[in-house]
């Protein structure tokens, strides 16, 4: 069945919008300096990584705490391969594939679990990765981390980062409307009913977690290339929890939630110069307030408000015509 003209126009407008977001992001990344520039890069990197998490947590409603581990896998594997003389493009591809395999294994083990058991399982995986990064000194450099051989120039890294934001948003948009996306949404609403209706719930969650790992790893590759040095504290399960919080603040399953959530979780503490402990408290308070006042998240609240406003205008217009 062919899509209608209105549907095609909607798809085209969304693609254009996310392309403009990428263009604006690149202009900001290329021109901001100092602390603002660092915050902009981190927000962009996290936006790419959390777009993957939005597939598992946002669409399926499954709380994955492993995203920072996939993120770290992309950074470390690509860096280690570069140190061994592997070309940058190949190093990036292998890093993403390694993370995808890790996501597949985690999914095979935990995709049949639910709720807090799934969260605990992914948290366990993240804790193991953190231990490996800290203790395998010969391979990972241990707590001191590793310097990164630059395979991309800083300009190319920023271009790829901005383009990855747009491409990630576009992939998520079309995925949400695909059969896989509808299956994930059915799992979020009622997994037992979805399984009863024939949805292969375990396999669907497995695919979503693997896709999530791919996004996280690619974000890690770009982060390592731009930052020039990587270390375990950048990829702990604590960072994975903050990614989890960012999705909740933005709104589960919403297209721009990763961007809005990253801006708040990373931007607010950095711009206010809050210390590590204070920043976590502030982010926690913001998360609690958002969940109490607008459980659908900031994007969800804006979307609901816009629909109500349009409905009121439509009603008023019909009243005037009558």
State residue 256's pLDDT score: 93
Average pLDDT over residues 51-67: 92
- 112: three-class secondary structure by DSSP: coil
State residue 185's pLDDT score: 93
List the domain range (segments joined by +) for residue 148.
8-321
Enter the pTM of the model. Answer: 0.91
214/62 Cα distance (integer angstroms)? 17
State residue 237's pLDDT score: 87
Average pLDDT over residues 75-98: 96
State residue 40's pLDDT score: 93
**Is-contact 21 166, C-beta < 8 A?**
yes
Average pLDDT over residues 64-69: 93
* 164 part of a folded domain: yes
* 29 part of a folded domain: yes
DSSP state of 113: -
282/268 Cα distance (integer angstroms)? 9
Q: What is the DSSP string of 263-303?
A: IIIIIHHHHTT--HHHHHHHHHHHHHHHHHH-TTHHHHHHH
Please determine, for residue 164, whether its predicted confidence score (pLDDT) is greater than 70: yes
State residue 267's pLDDT score: 85
* 136 part of a folded domain: yes
- 194: three-class secondary structure by DSSP: helix
Cα distances (Å, whole numbers) of residue 266 to 39, 156, 235, 309: 7, 23, 14, 31
* 116 part of a folded domain: yes
- Per residue in 211-235, pLDDT (tens digit) is 999 999 999 999 999 999 999 999 9
- 147: three-class secondary structure by DSSP: strand
- What percent of the chain clears pLDDT 90, i.e. is strictly above it? 61
- Say how many domains are in the chain: 1
- Per residue in 238-253, pLDDT (tens digit) is 899 899 999 999 999 9
> How would you classify the pairing of strands 229-230 and 146-147?
antiparallel
pLDDT bucket at 76, cuts 50 / 70 / 90 = very high
Average pLDDT, rounded, for the chain: 90
118/109 Cα distance (integer angstroms)? 10
State residue 218's pLDDT score: 97
* 231 part of a folded domain: yes
Average pLDDT over residues 58-74: 93
State residue 296's pLDDT score: 87
pLDDT bucket at 105, cuts 50 / 70 / 90 = very high
- Per residue in 199-213, pLDDT (tens digit) is 998 899 999 999 999
State residue 3's pLDDT score: 61
* 3 part of a folded domain: no
* 1 part of a folded domain: no
Please determine, for residue 1, whether its predicted confidence score (pLDDT) is greater than 60: no
In this structure, what token pair is assigned to residue 246? 């960012």
């Amino acid at each position: 069945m062919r899509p209608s003209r209105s549907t095609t126009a909607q798809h085209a407008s969304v693609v254009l919008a996310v392309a403009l977001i990428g263009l604006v992001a690149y202009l900001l990344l290329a021109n901001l300096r100092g602390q603002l520039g660092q915050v902009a890069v981190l927000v962009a990197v996290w936006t790419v990584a959390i777009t993957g998490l939005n597939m598992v947590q946002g669409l399926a409603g499954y709380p994955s705490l492993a995203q920072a581990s996939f993120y770290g896998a992309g950074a470390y594997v690509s860096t280690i391969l570069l140190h061994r003389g592997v070309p940058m493009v190949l190093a990036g591809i292998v890093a993403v594939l390694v993370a995808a395999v890790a996501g597949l294994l985690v999914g095979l083990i935990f995709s049949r679990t639910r709720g807090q058991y799934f969260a605990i399982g992914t948290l366990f995986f993240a804790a193991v990765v953190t231990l490996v990064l800290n203790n395998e000194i010969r391979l990972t450099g241990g707590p001191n981390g590793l310097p990164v051989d630059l395979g991309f120039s800083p300009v190319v890294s920023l271009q790829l980062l901005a383009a990855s934001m747009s491409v990630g948003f576009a992939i998520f948009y079309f995925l949400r409307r695909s059969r896989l996306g509808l299956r994930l949404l059915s799992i979020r609403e009622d997994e037992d009913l979805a399984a009863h209706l024939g949805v292969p719930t375990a396999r669907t969650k497995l695919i979503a977690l693997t896709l999530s790992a791919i996004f996280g790893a690619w974000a890690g590759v770009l982060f390592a290339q731009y930052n020039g040095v990587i270390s375990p504290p950048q990829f702990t399960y604590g960072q994975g929890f903050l990614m989890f919080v960012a999705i909740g603040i933005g709104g589960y399953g919403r297209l721009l939630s990763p961007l809005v959530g990253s801006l708040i979780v990373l931007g607010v503490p950095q711009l206010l110069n809050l210390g590590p402990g204070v920043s976590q408290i502030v982010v926690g308070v913001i998360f609690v307030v958002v969940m109490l006042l607008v459980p659908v998240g900031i994007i969800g609240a804006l979307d609901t408000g816009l629909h109500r406003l349009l409905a009121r205008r439509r009603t008023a217009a019909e009243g005037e015509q009558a």
